[in-house]
Structure 1
Amino acid sequence: MKSSTLLTAFTFAACEIAQVLAHGGVLSYNIGGQIYQGFRSYNTPVGQSSIQREWDSYDPIIDPMHPQISCNLNGANLGSGQLSATVAAGSKVLAWWNQWPHNLGPVMVYMANCNGACTTANTASLNWFKIEEAGLISGTVDKGTWAQGQLITNNNSWTTTIPASLAPGEYMLRHELLSIHTPNQPQFYPNCAQLKLTGGGSAQPSGSYLVKLPGAYKASDPGVTLDVYNHPTWTNYTIPGPAVWRG
């Protein structure tokens, strides 16, 4: 009986480890040459300090209308431990993921003006705009080169340039991977970090560039519902969400 209990515990632990290895998110950032530690999932937020909003597990969000799809579960600020990184418009931000296992799907990067202090912002109420996206780079949807494959090749990292003309202020920066390797079950992996943007720009996106999260995606969007194994010869993929705002 005792050995059976131990075996059950071991099996459960192994499943948990496998689950962590199979999924993930942004673990750290390089902003202006300074390294910022991300939130440490599976740990209490008490005592943590990070520019990142809280995210509680490596598991994906599979509902495009999930109320916490903006910054992952639970997306809360860290109270006294919540930091913001100061960055000049036009600068590069490098985000590092854990050892990423999925190579089918796009990479998307969003920002949102907090219109004040980001620490008190409700991320589901913000107006988000996309500053970068990459999807199917070449080849067919089932065996071609995807942005997530490039992320893996580049040491599980992605580098993004903040639009140089963007007006200064406090912003959320949101990285998102949408993995489509499982038919009819999209996997969204969003993470948010807080920025204090400096510079002499004055531009702000408007109109159709601005979306709510949830609200930017629907379950019926072709880029969300694509079954790559049922359409192995397709060479086109439509990335969901708004058009990229380039400033």
Structure 2
Amino acid sequence: MLISIALTALALASSQVAAHGGVLSYKFGSTTYQGFQAYNSPAGQKSIQREWDTYNPITDPTVPEIVCNTNGASLGAGQLSATVAAGTKVVATWNQWPHTIGPVMVYMAKCPGSCTSANPASLSWFKIDQAGLISGTLSTGLWGQGQLVNNANTWTSTIPASLAPGEYIIRHELLAVHTSNIPQFYPECAQLIITGSGTAQPSGSYLVKFPGAYQFSDPGVTINVYANPDQTNYTIPGPAVWHG
């Protein structure tokens, strides 16, 4: 009986991984950091990534889990931070990603002190990269997520070279919009220590809070891509990209 229950749980987890997913590792230059292992206890894990417990999507943009997934907690003694120079490229690798319709977005937030003790919901986030509908129409065109899949489930972004040094959280997010009017958010967060001689910091409309950055009423959040098959424009939710 116990073996049967265990096999059922394993099958369920496997089906969830196949259907959805998230960031499994980060690469900065020649250094790769493994992500948190979802569906496993955080006890004993060490990662630059914050805890996330499920491959399932977040379908409500106003819930606390929208910040860094469920539950987005620090790993405490196991929480690491990658030391990265401003201007470095970051390559995030997802699992075998099944969705190709929807945008890719990358955010950062500066922590007031140690990111390990910071609450991500209290931070001010700015977007450093995004890709929505790249070409073609809503239902059949090339999207950011399609490009991610074409690049072996990886996405490369550049940390702004002029960014002031300090402790930051980087937040990668996929918004799958292939299911009519039901958004599927997949955010994960990891901790960085940015070095360099930059002095720039975003302000004003570049900064947003999570929750708060997205609403159901946003045209890029609640959307039926099949209702207007010939449409060739899409509005990516959230603020404009801050390039530094």
TM-score bin, normalised by smaller chain:
over 0.9
Partners of 2:96 and 2:226 in 1: how far apart?
A: 24
TM-score normalized by the length of structure 1: 0.95
Residue equivalent to 2:213: 216
TM-superposed deviation, 1:10: 6.7
Distance 1:145 1:78, change over 3 A: same
Match 1:162 to one of 159, 163, 178: 159
**1:32 and 1:87 in contact (8 A); partners too:** no
Counterpart AA for 2:238: G
SS of alignment partner, residue 145 of structure 2:
helix
Matched length:
243
**2:18 and 2:96 in contact (8 A); partners too:** yes
Residue correspondence of structure 1 range 187-198 to structure 2 within 5 A: 187-198=184-195
Residue correspondence of structure 1 range 36-55 to structure 2 within 5 A: 36-55=33-52
Partners of 2:30 and 2:9 in 1: how far apart?
A: 40
**1:124 and 1:212 in contact (8 A); partners too:** yes
Partners of 2:9 and 2:74 in 1: how far apart?
A: 31
Partners of 1:119 and 1:164 in 2: how far apart?
A: 24
Counterpart AA for 2:125: W
SS of alignment partner, residue 182 of structure 1:
coil
SS of alignment partner, residue 222 of structure 1:
coil
Q: Does 1:107 find its partner at 2:137? A: no
Match 2:180 to one of 183, 187, 195: 183
Residue equivalent to 1:244: 241
Residue equivalent to 1:76: 73
Gaps of 5+ in 1: none
Residue equivalent to 1:28: 25
Q: Does 1:62 find its partner at 2:53? A: no
Residue equivalent to 2:130: 133
Gaps of 5+ in 2: none
Deviations 1:73-118 (A, max 9, x none): 0000001100000000001000000000000000000000002110
Partners of 1:112 and 1:12 in 2: how far apart?
A: 36
Partners of 1:9 and 1:214 in 2: how far apart?
A: 36
SS of alignment partner, residue 45 of structure 2:
coil
Partners of 2:44 and 2:16 in 1: how far apart?
A: 26
Residue correspondence of structure 1 range 219-238 to structure 2 within 5 A: 219-238=216-235
SS of alignment partner, residue 130 of structure 2:
strand
TM-superposed deviation, 1:17: 2.3
Counterpart AA for 1:205: P
TM-score normalized by the length of structure 2: 0.96
Counterpart AA for 2:199: S
SS of alignment partner, residue 193 of structure 1:
strand
**2:182 and 2:223 in contact (8 A); partners too:** no
Once superposed, what is the RMSD of the aligned Cα atoms? 1.6
Partners of 2:160 and 2:13 in 1: how far apart?
A: 39
Q: Does 1:172 find its partner at 2:169? A: yes
Residue equivalent to 2:114: 117
TM-superposed deviation, 1:19: 2.1
Partners of 1:131 and 1:202 in 2: how far apart?
A: 16
TM-superposed deviation, 1:246: 0.6
